[in-house]
Chain A
Amino acid sequence: MNMIYMLIGFSILLALLFLLAFFWASKSGQHDDLFTPGIRILFEEEDHQETSNEEKSDEDHLGR
């Protein structure tokens, strides 16, 4: 039955990890805007050639 001590320890550790993940998400502002991402995901990606190229170049410049 001593196994229970370890199991409880592990489960609490795991739960703590999730709590930390929540802290990180909150700190990085993920909960600041809960509305827009839901709409954003519905947009179609169009003229793939053009957008994909441009987005790539955008990402390079964003490395700040």
Chain B
Amino acid sequence: MKETNSLKVETHCFHCGDNLPETAYFAEDKQFCCLGCKGVYQILSDHHLSSYYLYNDVPGSSQQKKAQHFNYLDEPGIAAELVDYTDPKVTVITLFIPVIHCSSCIWLLEHLYKINPAISQSRVDFLKKQVSITFKNQEISLRQVVETLSAIGYEPLISLQDMIKKQRTDHSERNLFTKIAVAGFCFGNVMLLSFPDYFGLNSFEQDFKNFFGWINLAFAIPVLLYSARDYFISAWTNLKNGVLNLDFPLALGIAVMFLRSAYEIITQTGAGFVDTLCSLVFFLLIGKWMQKRTYHYLSFERDFRSYFPVAVTQLKDGKEKPLPLNELKTGNRILIRSNEIIPADAILLKGEAKLDFSFVTGESLPVEKVLGEIVYAGGRQLNGAIELEVVKPVSQSYLTKLWNNEAFCGQRDPIKTFSDTASRYFSIVLVAIALAAGLYWISTDINKAVASFTAVLIIACPCALALSSPFTLAAVLSIFDKNKFYLKNTAVIEELARIDTIVFDKTGTITNPDAAGFDFSGKMDKYERQLVCDLARNSGHPLSRELVKWLNLRPQFLVEQYKEKVGRGISGCVDGHEVKLGSAAHLGLNTQDQGSVVHILIEHHYCGYFRSSQRWREGFKQLALKLGQQSDLHLLSGDQDHDRKLLTPFFPRTQQLHFQQSPQQKLDYILQLQQTGAKVMMLGDGLNDAGALKQSNLGIAVTDDINNFSPGCDAILDGAAFKKIPQLIKQAKDAVKVIHMSFVISLLYNAAGLFFAVQGLLSPLMAAILMPLSTITIILFTSLTARFYARKNHLL
């Protein structure tokens, strides 16, 4: 047992836990997978920060990716945009660091002063993945701070569309907390002061009764005017627009309750309903908070601006100068280094452009461009540095034009929820019953008429009704959250239950970008594998690159007489042996290729072939079969149609497979589907899907790392949860069922209360018992049944 343990440790990088390559990097007695990880370790141990590795096993994250340039942070204009506070001595900045994931991260980031004493304080907000840093700006620049973070593996994500600022100015949650506190405070006190009356007071204690009544009334005023304010505002604005939502009966009930209580207390004719009023508002606000509660601070409103860099390197008079992206104009000359993104449509002037457009167009193979050709914005340069001249401003480029489409302008219709629909009828019926009860008594007893009219409005105040949706949906939201499916808001669940058409993007959505693997059929020893690997290393073809990555052997031999026929095969002399790789046709073999296959010939001896496999996400096949039974499946890919054959078995109707779709075409396709009455769910990942995601009834961004960029959407699905989509849809449908059931339950409570109310027999005590009882029933029922269904759907 002990032996296996120690073996396991040795094969993993001490910093990030990745598998070690054949020859690892050493520092002291530790092994590392790459220079980056080793570098981080050395910085930490030099500054006595090795405790970082004590709190968690392998707390670091892989440092394989190359660091960015942060020169642009020296521009005062850009820096001023980013900092929270600055004076001649200190600056405070809040940075978003996606890799924050464990307690070691918190520890390290809060001990930055040990690395550089000019950083005087740093505080981490773990859930938001933000660190707030205070530093002495005379001794260290913003750029140096960011570079320090980057050097220890905590590179902040800085983008034009900074969400941090927005979060800081948004105090709606704090306000809601205060409202709940006020309502809770008043509720508790009123409850205490109401008890004596419920238990009955002696005749000589009648003075107290008035006294308690007046205090209760005083407590009701802040609840009415402050805590319940939003309900009145919402009911009023909706009424003006001719809509009856659930806030209308709520506001009406609260107002009537207050007026009747005030009347009873002032005229000393009764105790009033102040405690019911306070408890109602208190529970309602808690329901609101449940609905609003966010578990993960993800951004669902991102557009191209958060994908693009903050600044580009401008070439002016032979000098490099960082230029903020919004100042980039037509005719500017820019320098794009390896791994940087081209921010605007431009002409290639110098250098070898090899661009990865997979995120923008869905095209999975890198594209090479020649001098003088137009390069579209959004591509990521893979080779060395290139020089370009901008021909179109950022906002008018091929890709960004998409955001000028009307789908992005103006508000989308809000998702129709069940409670909205139901409350319209509820309100009408409620007012009708109240009027009927009032009219019935009016001829005999005017007091009784008023009493029964108000009592109906009070008792039927749909508290339980208003809570059934938020509590069910909040429970489902947290269940989805545990399954790595993150929703923008609770209304998305109801929309998910209505979906009947599902549209998939291909690259990155149903294919897994990182997990390309190969099956090998045939016979080959280790030496021969080495030969193949060394030959394939010379080719830029994606299949060769994936093959090299998959074989994972270090270069050993030099290749002579290397020849490549683009897209067909390669050949060369490795260590004295003639090796040929390629398609069957290229090698003169007599077989038909199925999919992406690489055949191997060594010294004219056929060794077998590699077939690219597992390109679909895990479980895609079962998923497509399952979903195909209940909904219509479509595929929209920006890629060439070389996968058409492979995909045909998954999609029931082949005419619903569409390739070479531009972002605009995708959007239009969704619109077309919607015009035939379909409720469309779009699953996509790249910027090219942004339009379609926005247009669809429910846009889901699929991503393998939820902190990476994902386009604007309604929900973010972790790639690992991709195979659970059918269960998630089932759970959403069950959630709607639970809402219906709890509506019935709360209506029963209302009916029971109404029975007394129409007769004018409703006592404050009865209201005070019925209201919290129905509320608690609903809370228990919804959360328990939602969990029950989740267990049934194997989501818990």
Residues of A within 8 A of B (CB): 4-5, 8, 12, 15, 19, 22-23, 26-27, 31-33, 35-36, 39-40, 42-44, 46-47, 50, 54, 58, 61-62, 64
Contacts and interface: CB of A to CB of B under 8 A. Distances in A.
A19 B125 contact: no
Interface stretch (B175-183, B614-622, B706-714): B175-183
B48 A12 contact: no
A23 to B, nearest CB: 6
Contacts of A4: 208
Given A27-B174, A36-B125, A40-B110, A15 B181 contact: no
The 9 closest A-B pairs by CB, nearest first: A36-B126, A33-B125, A39-B103, A61-B120, A58-B120, A19-B185, A35-B127, A35-B126, A22-B181
Given A12-B215, A32-B174, A40 B106 contact: yes
Interface string B68-112: 000000000000000000010110000000000001001100100
Given A26-B174, A54-B113, A58-B113, 12 more contacts: A4-B208, A19-B181, A22-B181, A23-B178, A23-B181, A26-B181, A31-B174, A33-B127, A39-B106, A43-B55, A44-B51, A47-B48
Contact of A36 (B106, B136, B185): B106
Q: Tell me what chain A mostly uses at the interface: helix, strand, loop, or mixed.
A: helix
A23 B182 CA distance: 9
Nearest to A16: B185
Contacts of B114: 54
Given A26-B174, A33-B126, A12 B189 contact: yes
Contacts of B127: 33, 35-36
B117 interface: yes
Contact of B51 (A12, A22, A40, A46): A46
Interface string B110-143: 1001100100110111111000001010000000
A44 to B, nearest CB: 7
Interface residues of B, number: 35
B211 interface: yes
A35 B90 CA distance: 27
23 contacts: A8-B193, A12-B189, A15-B189, A23-B181, A26-B177, A26-B178, A31-B174, A31-B177, A33-B125, A33-B127, A35-B127, A36-B124, A43-B103, A43-B106, A43-B107, A44-B51, A46-B51, A47-B48, A50-B48, A54-B117, A58-B120, A58-B121, A61-B90
A11 to B, nearest CB: 9
Contacts of A31: 174, 177
Interface of B: 48, 51, 55, 87, 89-90, 103, 106-107, 110, 113-114, 117, 120-121, 123-128, 134, 136, 174, 177-178, 181-182, 185, 188-189, 193, 208, 211, 215
A18 B647 CA distance: 64
Contacts of A22: 181
Contacts of A64: 87, 89-90
Nearest to B177: A26
A5 B363 CA distance: 79
Nearest to A38: B126
Contacts of A44: 51
Nearest to A61: B120
Contacts of B136: 61
B129 to A, nearest CB: 11
A23 B178 CA distance: 7
A62 B120 contact: yes
Contact of A39 (B126, B181, B188, B189): B126
Contacts of A19: 181-182, 185
A52 B743 CA distance: 60
Contacts of B51: 44, 46
A25 to B, nearest CB: 10
A53 to B, nearest CB: 11
A19 B215 CA distance: 17
A46 B107 CA distance: 12
A33 B48 CA distance: 28
Nearest to B105: A39
B111 to A, nearest CB: 9
B672 to A, nearest CB: 45
Contacts of A43: 55, 103, 106-107
A63 B178 CA distance: 29
Given A12-B215, A61-B120, A42 B103 contact: yes
Nearest to B185: A19
A44 B194 CA distance: 50
A64 to B, nearest CB: 6
A36 B105 CA distance: 11
A54 B120 CA distance: 9
Contacts of B90: 61, 64
A49 to B, nearest CB: 12
